[in-house]
Amino acid sequence: MSSSTAKIVKLDLKEPFVLKKGEVLEEIEMAYHSFGNLNQNKDNVILVCHALTMDSQCCNIEDKESDDGWWSFMIGPNRPIDTNNFHIICVNVLGGCKGSTGPLSINPKNNEPFGRNFPQVTINDMVRTQNLLLEQLGIHHLHAVIGGSLGGMQALEWSVAFPDKLDKCIAIATGGRLSTQGLAFDIVGRQCILNDSDWQEENKQNDNQFTGLALARMIGHITYISKKMMDEKFGRKLQKGWKESGFNTAFAIESFLKYQSEKFIKRFDTNSYLFLTKAMDSYDLASDYDSLAESLTRVKCKFLIISMSSDWLFPPEDSIDLAWTLSKQDKEATYANITTNLGHDAFLIDDKEVAPMKNIVEAFLG
């Protein structure tokens, strides 16, 4: 029978952790969830890396009726990532706000929350702290690392940073770096926060409900869904019961974006959003090498690269370029493009259009 665990672990650091950009963290806690049983050889572990605003609770195998678990349709008993066979670990990223060390954590130097003074973290820092946690748990090798979007970047980084530690890498709706258009949306979103007068007041740093964060989420959400989905679901329909007031409209798409932003600011920390989007923007798989091809010469695992046909945050050509570069390096890489109108977030939605993704992942994991 599958089991599940949720813990926060203080890393047993032999010395302060030096971040890629040079700053130092003297203490680090990592929050994680695990699902399924670890076998005797500890060789059935799959690390699931979460997307930008998700957390370590990737599924809920105890209560099938619960909404908890952002990937429950993918992970669990007899599901594509089968907890009857695999031990699943999902870690809240460094810089996050769901238990791992981040802006909400107490700075041991002054016993106050880090807030905006938290050091800048990178995808590489996230992966290295995940590795430290796994080592501390006695897990030295992974059957697979899988993730979508920001999680896919982590999966790719795992393949380069620790090439001997994983057999398979599954990168979904992601790329070796974010496009200029993607950068632009993130930059405008952060500017909404940075120019929010409430956020600028230090004494309000623990109040997450900033107008700036809500606006940033609205901008971000536009990139997560496709134009066709917007047209089909909302079009120019008006929201029943809404009346125009000032410059507000009664368009259904406006009420949808406001609803999504209001939900989001109740569960996510403003400063974490700033640091994590900056980490995503800064990531470039080839940054320490002369080219993407050179960065991939060191990888040893098998790859599954999956794109979503209507994703314009990480368009299919990004995944094709990655898979093609791997194949030219004589690496074993499988590429699949899922035909869907659901946009970037399709990999998070349990829909018949995404059923092929479930089958492909299940087959690849073996």
pLDDT, one tens digit for every residue, the chain (366 residues): 567 899 999 999 999 999 999 999 999 999 999 999 999 999 999 999 999 999 999 998 765 555 579 999 999 999 999 999 999 999 999 999 999 999 999 999 999 999 999 999 999 999 999 999 999 999 999 999 999 999 999 999 999 999 999 999 999 999 999 999 999 999 999 999 999 988 887 655 555 568 999 999 999 999 999 999 999 999 999 988 777 788 888 899 999 999 999 999 999 999 999 999 999 999 999 988 999 999 999 999 999 999 999 999 999 999 999 999 999 999 999 999 999 999 999 999 999 999 999 999 999 999
Angle between helices 180-194 and 270-282 (to 10 degrees): 150
How far apart (Å, rounded) are the C-alpha atoms in residues 304 and 322? 10
CATH of the domain at 249: 1.10.1740.110
pLDDT of residue 63: 57
Whether 127 and 226 map to the same domain: the answer is no
Whether 150 and 292 map to the same domain: the answer is yes
State the DSSP string of 298-309: G--SEEEEEEET
CB 25 within 8 A of CB 101: yes
Whether 10 and 135 map to the same domain: the answer is yes
Read off the pLDDT of residues 226-260 as tens digits, 9 standing for 90 and up.
999 999 999 999 988 777 788 888 899 999 999 99
pLDDT of residue 247: 86
pLDDT of residue 181: 94
pTM (two decimals): 0.95
CATH of the domain at 329: 3.40.50.1820
Whether 274 and 291 map to the same domain: the answer is no
Whether 83 and 194 map to the same domain: the answer is no
pLDDT of residue 250: 87
Name the residue range of residue 59's domain.
4-179+285-365
Decide the pairing of beta strands 166-172 and 45-49: unpaired
User: Which of 216, 246, 278 corresponds to the end of one domain?
Assistant: 278
Whether 192 and 203 map to the same domain: the answer is yes
Whether 89 and 172 map to the same domain: the answer is yes
User: Which of 242, 259, 278 corresponds to the end of one domain?
Assistant: 278
Whether 192 and 340 map to the same domain: the answer is no
Active site positions, annotated: 149, 311, 344
How far apart (Å, rounded) are the C-alpha atoms in residues 318 and 300? 21
Q: What is the widest separation between alpha-carbon atoms in the chain?
A: 65
Whether 308 and 261 map to the same domain: the answer is no
Whether 140 and 54 map to the same domain: the answer is yes
User: Which of 224, 258, 278 corresponds to the end of one domain?
Assistant: 278
Using the CB atoms, write b or e for 128-140: b if 16+ within 10 Å. Answer: bbbbbbbeebebe
Whether 8 and 151 map to the same domain: the answer is yes
When divided into structural domains, the chain yields a total of: 2
H or E stretch including 147? strand 142-148
pLDDT of residue 244: 77
pLDDT of residue 209: 64
Whether 61 and 157 map to the same domain: the answer is yes
Read off the pLDDT of residues 109-144 as tens digits, 9 standing for 90 and up.
999 999 999 999 999 999 999 999 999 999 999 999
Residue 210, judged by CB atoms within 10 A of its CB (0-12, 13-18, 19+), counts as buried
Cα–chain center distance at 254 = 26
Q: What DSSP character marks residue 165?
A: S
